[in-house]
Structure 1
Amino acid sequence: MDRSQAFQLVGVGLRTPHLDYFEHNTTQVGWLEIHSENYFQTNSLEYQQLLAIREQVEISCHGIGLSLGSTSNVNPSHLQSLKQLIHEVQPFAVSDHLSWSEHGGHYFNDLLPLPYTEEALQLFCRNVLHVQDVIQRPLLIENPSSYLRFNHSTIPEWEFLAEVQRRTDCRLLLDLNNVHVSSFNHRYDTHQYLEAIDPSTVDEIHLAGFTRKQLEQGEIWIDTHSTRVSDEVWQLYLHWNRINKPVPTLIEWDLDIPSPQVLLEEAHKAIVILTDSACPQTLRSA
């Protein structure tokens, strides 16, 4: 793959502090990702800036509020706002998470884990199918980072995720940082997880940084999206691209947001890997 092709595949998250910059510098990046819920207010200045940016560069919509794992149906008002945003922006991808964040009308700030059971699988697939029917396109479902597991889970996460895809014809958003973080927290093998994922179902990859935290019970890794991508995650990305077809890749950074130049430096590392992923030394020279 030549550099221009790799450049078009790599994007960064479009966060509010960077709206002004990317409104005037869209040629610096292949594409941009928004958090869908931040643009439901169509009379806001941020929404108008988004429309101006969209005229110059491709956008993906990444949701955090569908709560696809809830026992209740997806909030119809939320879903209609998402449908309207998709109509106006025409994103190349629409994604959300293998998680839940709402119960009985109460919304939580976290993406909470599911029990991986047949009952939860049926509920999750029901909600994915409903959303896809409304928006008339496949959703990308992202694997979560997690810090606890339910004792009554009977299905490994990677099998649960793959079965969601088979039952709903959704697509997958593979977050390699989440795989890395969760594999440490739950002591499973990272490569076992990746080998269980059919690469033909993966339409996007996320890369981000994480934080190590010491608790009384021991060390835990937290998916904070507040630092540069770790060397270990870059190596996972290199490994994945050595054996699979490249897909759009996002540098995700949501807390302690740095200058746009730092994001673009991280994007450059991904571009280098995509340009020549067969060379182990590419990361060190990026």
Structure 2
Amino acid sequence: MCQSLTVGLGLKPAHYEEALACSVQGLWFEVHPENYFVDGGPRIAWLQAIRSRHPISLHGVALSLAADCPPDPAHLQRLLDLARRVEPTLISEHLAWSNWRGTYHPDLLPFPRSGEALGRIVDNIGRTQDVLGCRIAVENPAHYLRIDGHAWDEIDFLAEIVRRSGCGLLLDINNVYVGACNLGYSAADYIDRFPAEAVMEVHLAGYTEDRQFGADLLIDSHDAPVAETVWNLYERFIARAGRCPTLIERDDKLPEFSVMLAERDRAHAVLQRALEEANR
């Protein structure tokens, strides 16, 4: 894991001015690279300006690593071009699929954890890492309903992906909590079993209850503050794993930048306590 990073924020256009002016030590920003697949213009100019002051991480949403076909070569080339331009500290992607026979679906879709899927994913990660020339991190998915065909436990599946491909993992703790509530497993047990040695980044975000089913169906909405239950799981993981680059995600219903910084400060305090414990 990249120990030089502490806690970052998802970068949104509404916060560009304040992000650029912010001088908080250890702050970094993460963006979805697909929003910057352009040759020029104001978005690229702002991203490069912020990169001149803060580290940048790229968190992809469209490589479709779990699809039954390789990543789109044109997409990979655009990702490589952007990476060369901003020199990101980390590059990550979701463990999901969205591309089907040349059509992109606006969602991160689930798949059965079969041996066949494992082979495809490892191959697609390998192709991606070969093009980019670096190790990427793969994020554990959120779960909303049970699907048939799983031959692997999710933790074992992720660990095997790491072993075969050499990639790292991105632990999204809100995904863990949402999935645990929706499918009825223990979020604490999941956190305790997660292969900490492979974690390159941690994500924290907020969830909402479904309009129809309420608390029986939680949605990884990224439009609310980090819940106390998720903070507790984060502290549990960091107490075991030690300091790890952490990101506060917020994609909708954006609060003031100062509110985002306050959540960032809370996560930073957790990392500082972990560092103090390690130095005792």
In which range does the TM-score fall when normalised by the shorter chain?
A: over 0.9
**Does 1:239 pair with 2:236?**
yes
Assess if the C-alpha contact under 8 Å between 2:205 and 2:250 holds in 1. yes
Assess if the C-alpha contact under 8 Å between 2:36 and 2:82 holds in 1. yes
Q: Cα distance, 1:195 vs. partner? A: 2.7
Match of 2:124?
A: 127
Which residue identity does 1:108 align to in structure 2?
Answer: H
Assess if the C-alpha contact under 8 Å between 2:6 and 2:26 holds in 1. no
Q: Cα distance, 1:8 vs. partner? A: 4.9
Q: 2:21 and 2:79 mapped to 1: Cα distance?
A: 26
Q: Which one of 242, 248, 251 corresponds to residue 248 of structure 2?
A: 251
Q: Cα distance, 1:151 vs. partner? A: 1.2
Gaps of 5+ in 2: none
Q: Cα distance, 1:29 vs. partner? A: 5.9
Q: Which one of 29, 50, 54 corresponds to residue 53 of structure 1?
A: 50
Assess if the C-alpha contact under 8 Å between 2:95 and 2:138 holds in 1. yes
Q: 1:132 and 1:158 mapped to 2: Cα distance?
A: 22
Q: Structure 1-normalised TM-score?
A: 0.91
In the TM superposition, 1:46-125 aligns within 5 A as: 46-125=43-122
Match of 2:20?
A: 23
Q: Cα distance, 1:21 vs. partner? A: 2.0
Q: 1:278 and 1:214 mapped to 2: Cα distance?
A: 41
Match of 2:200?
A: 203
Q: 1:238 and 1:30 mapped to 2: Cα distance?
A: 19
Q: 1:75 and 1:129 mapped to 2: Cα distance?
A: 14
Q: 1:40 and 1:252 mapped to 2: Cα distance?
A: 21
Q: Which one of 260, 264, 267 corresponds to residue 261 of structure 2?
A: 264
Give the 3 Å change call, closer, same or farther, for CA 278–126 of structure 1 in structure 2. closer
Which is worse superposed, 214-223 or 53-62?
214-223
In the TM superposition, 1:189-228 aligns within 5 A as: 189-213=186-210, 215=212, 219-228=216-225
Q: Cα distance, 1:161 vs. partner? A: 1.3
Q: 1:259 and 1:137 mapped to 2: Cα distance?
A: 35
3-state DSSP of counterpart to 2:251:
coil
Q: 1:149 and 1:257 mapped to 2: Cα distance?
A: 31
Match of 2:140?
A: 143
State how many pairs are aligned: 274
Which residue identity does 1:12 align to in structure 2?
Answer: L
Assess if the C-alpha contact under 8 Å between 1:242 and 1:278 holds in 2. no
Assess if the C-alpha contact under 8 Å between 2:65 and 2:95 holds in 1. yes
Q: Cα distance, 1:7 vs. partner? A: 10
Q: 2:250 and 2:42 mapped to 1: Cα distance?
A: 22
Q: 1:73 and 1:12 mapped to 2: Cα distance?
A: 31
Give the 3 Å change call, closer, same or farther, for CA 123–275 of structure 1 in structure 2. same
Q: Deviations over 1:41-94 (max 9, x none)?
A: 121201011111111110100000101111011001100000011111111100
Gaps of 5+ in 1: 1-5, 280-286
Q: Structure 2-normalised TM-score?
A: 0.93
Assess if the C-alpha contact under 8 Å between 1:238 and 1:277 holds in 2. no
Query: What is the aligned-residue identity percentage?
Result: 38
3-state DSSP of counterpart to 2:141:
coil
Q: 1:92 and 1:47 mapped to 2: Cα distance?
A: 17
Runs of 4+ in 1 over 4 A off after TM superposition: none
Assess if the C-alpha contact under 8 Å between 1:63 and 1:97 holds in 2. yes
Q: Cα distance, 1:24 vs. partner? A: 2.3
Q: Cα distance, 1:215 vs. partner? A: 3.5
Assess if the C-alpha contact under 8 Å between 2:244 and 2:271 holds in 1. no
What's the C-alpha RMSD, in Å, of the aligned pairs?
1.9
Q: 2:203 and 2:218 mapped to 1: Cα distance?
A: 17
Give the 3 Å change call, closer, same or farther, for CA 216–259 of structure 1 in structure 2. closer
